């Protein structure tokens, strides 16, 4: 049970490392994941879930969902010790768990934004009350 909790925390930390950009080139993705570009190309040939877009010049174009899938594959292979074959099988069953972690991650961001908005409103209210005296 503890291992699952650490894995969830690891995934959340990895999700936080993804910059807020619309798309990424292979070198950027490799840097985010701390792996070599040739590993990304190999994973594309092995995992059907990986289908990055391609620009006119044939350069790969990755989106957030691609990076999230790559993070899950990295977790399965490097952290959980699966073989490629085992990771392919586990990817299907773990995708639900991953979606839950991702949803919680985005839910936390939303809550922080809402709290920040409420604090701004309280500050404005204090200013109004102070000026009314």
Q: Which pLDDT score, from 0 to 100, does residue 95 have? A: 61
Dump strand ranges (E) for 4-133.
53-54, 60-61
Q: Which pLDDT score, from 0 to 100, does residue 36 have? A: 96
Q: Which residue has the higher pLDDT, 103 or 52?
A: 52
Q: If you average pLDDT over every residue of the chain, what do you get?
A: 79
Asked whether residue 57 carries a pLDDT value surpassing 50, the answer given is: yes
The percent of residues in the chain predicted with pLDDT above 70, rounded, is 74
How far apart CA 76 and CA 128 sit, in angstroms, is 54
The string of pLDDT tens digits covering residues 68-123 is 889 889 988 998 899 999 988 888 776 666 565 555 555 566 666 667 667 777 77
């Amino acid at each position: 049970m503890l291992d699952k909790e650490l894995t969830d925390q690891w995934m959340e930390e990895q999700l936080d490392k993804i910059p807020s950009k619309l798309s990424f080139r292979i070198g950027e993705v490799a840097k985010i994941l701390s792996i070599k570009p040739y590993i990304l190309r190999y994973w594309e040939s092995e995992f059907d879930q990986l289908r990055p877009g391609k620009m006119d010049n044939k350069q790969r174009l990755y989106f957030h969902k691609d990076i999230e899938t790559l993070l899950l594959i990295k977790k399965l292979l490097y952290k959980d010790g699966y073989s490629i074959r085992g990771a392919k099988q586990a990817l299907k069953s773990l995708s639900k768990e991953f979606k839950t972690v991702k949803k919680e991650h985005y839910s936390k961001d939303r809550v922080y934004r809402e709290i920040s908005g409420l604090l701004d409103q309280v500050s404005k209210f204090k200013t109004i009350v102070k000026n009314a005296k």
